[in-house]
Structure 1
């Protein structure tokens, strides 16, 4: 019994990181489908999802901002999820000649994670800055809450993953002598 307890203690545990990653992936569905912003300007109401907001920015001639929002809202979350899956699979297999590159991938994922909050800050800024009473109003939608949850969950998933496991030898319980 003690051998079994010791063998599981030496194996990398990805359950927390995997749970956060799966939860983030699930939250990205409503984040991309639900409205993130509702604006009323001069009697014209507009409801935007992430995708329609990016298209609206392009159509308004704000293509640099549209590219930044597209990268922060679409690319980064999905790259982060894919990167986390790659890291967990690689660590589960044990050390590889690519451990150094995988460790760099972890550092990059850790760094870019907080930049996905750009959308949340943009909606918060617009909501607080655009207060013209009857002329214009902006209200955050449920999609931005789901998006913020997805971003926080990817950050938690990254922090729950231990990059040292990329360098560990996989533990084989069948080779451990029983006592």
Structure 2
């Protein structure tokens, strides 16, 4: 058995939890992006929106800066975080020659995690604030629960990942 294979076998159990949480988060992003996240009833208009259709509606109504924030925070960031985490796990599995760079990637993913619940808070805020108006209503839908689950699972995956694994060398490099 080669030293690289031996190293991969040793690091796999250490990163299994992060991989499991990451795959579960990826699985939850499917319904989060396919199911409606909220329904709104305004005078003369009833809407049920997914994350994407809500973003498109914001652009169509001239609120493109908010649409950009929602698109980045709700669609781009979750997939980039999971892609980055999978990249880190792959680097641990095969052994990386760039532990400093990969540690910076981990820190970025961890830092972004602080803003992950932005959409969930936005829907909760809208639901509460609009109810006070009396003329309109906003109700959360199943998609926001799936999105919240994906966010929590992504955060768990990030916290389950041990960045020290990036600094471990394959056995052949230690003996050289």
The TM-score range, normalised by the shorter chain, is 0.7 to 0.9
Residue 119 of structure 1, CA deviation: 0.7
Gap runs ≥5 in structure 2? 1-5
Q: Please give the residue correspondences for 1:94-133 in structure 2 after superposition, counting only pairs within 5 Å.
A: 94-96=95-97, 98-131=98-131, 132-133=133-134
2:65 aligned residue: 64
Alpha-carbon distance in structure 2 between the residues aligned to 1:17 and 1:171: 23
Alpha-carbon distance in structure 2 between the residues aligned to 1:50 and 1:152: 18
Alpha-carbon distance in structure 2 between the residues aligned to 1:44 and 1:94: 55
| Greater per-residue helix proportion | 2
Alpha-carbon distance in structure 1 between the residues aligned to 2:50 and 2:123: 12
2:3 aligned residue: none
1:137 aligned residue: 137
Alpha-carbon distance in structure 1 between the residues aligned to 2:76 and 2:43: 33
Matched length: 164
Alpha-carbon distance in structure 2 between the residues aligned to 1:78 and 1:14: 19
Q: Secondary structure of 2:82's partner?
A: helix
1:158 aligned residue: 158
4+ residue segments displaced more than 3 Å: none
Q: Secondary structure of 2:36's partner?
A: coil
1:77 has 2:48 as partner: no
Q: For residues 102-149 of structure 1, what are the alpha-carbon distances to aligned partners after superposition, in whole Å with 9 as ceiling and x for unaligned?
A: 00000000000131211111101000000133x211000100000010
1:37 aligned residue: 38
